[in-house]
Amino acid sequence: MTIEIAKGSLGISETSHALLVSLVFDANEPTQDRPFESIVEAFRFAFTYGYSKGISSKKTGKNVTVAPRQFIVNDYLELLREEAISKQQSLGGLISGYAEAGCIELEKQSLSSEFILDLLD
């Protein structure tokens, strides 16, 4: 018997979306700590950071969707299969939770005046 895992949709809070936008490189502000080339790249980093730390968070406030054509949830099926089954959540829901928690950590890092990519240490 094959268990069907829902794809779901990707989304983060409006606050987290604004944070990710602020981390995308801006040629007019080349000296700022804006290490990402796109919002999807920043979202992917936030997800990876949240996942690697085992932290997930529910979205609060208004939801902002993330481009599903550029972040394909099925690419993460093998990584999240067991968790999706055990928690009975969609892939998009799991990924979004990890990304939301990652954004919270990115915000803390940016408020501490340290570089975002220092989180990799």
Residue 111 in this model has a pLDDT that exceeds 80: no
What is the bridge-based pairing of β-strands 63-65 and 11-13? antiparallel
- Which residues fall within 8 angstroms of residue 79, CB to CB, at 6 or more apart? 51
How far is the C-alpha of 52 from the C-alpha of 94, rounded, in Å? 13
Instruction: Retrieve residue 120's tokens.
Output: 């990799």
What is the pLDDT confidence band of residue 1, given thresholds at 50, 70 and 90?
low
- For the segment 20-29, the average pLDDT, to the nearest whole number, is 90
- For the segment 47-71, the average pLDDT, to the nearest whole number, is 90
pLDDT of residue 121: 63
pLDDT of residue 46: 95
How far is the C-alpha of 4 from the C-alpha of 105, rounded, in Å? 32
Which of these, 30, 53, 33, lies nearest to 115 by C-alpha position?
A: 33
Q: Report CA dihedral (99, 103, 105, 110) to the nearest 10 degrees.
A: 150
Which of these, 47, 54, 59, lies nearest to 91 by C-alpha position?
A: 47
Which of these, 7, 25, 14, 17, lies nearest to 106 by C-alpha position?
A: 17
- For the segment 38-54, the average pLDDT, to the nearest whole number, is 94
What is the pLDDT confidence band of residue 67, given thresholds at 50, 70 and 90?
confident
- For the segment 45-68, the average pLDDT, to the nearest whole number, is 91
Boundaries of every domain in the chain: 11-120
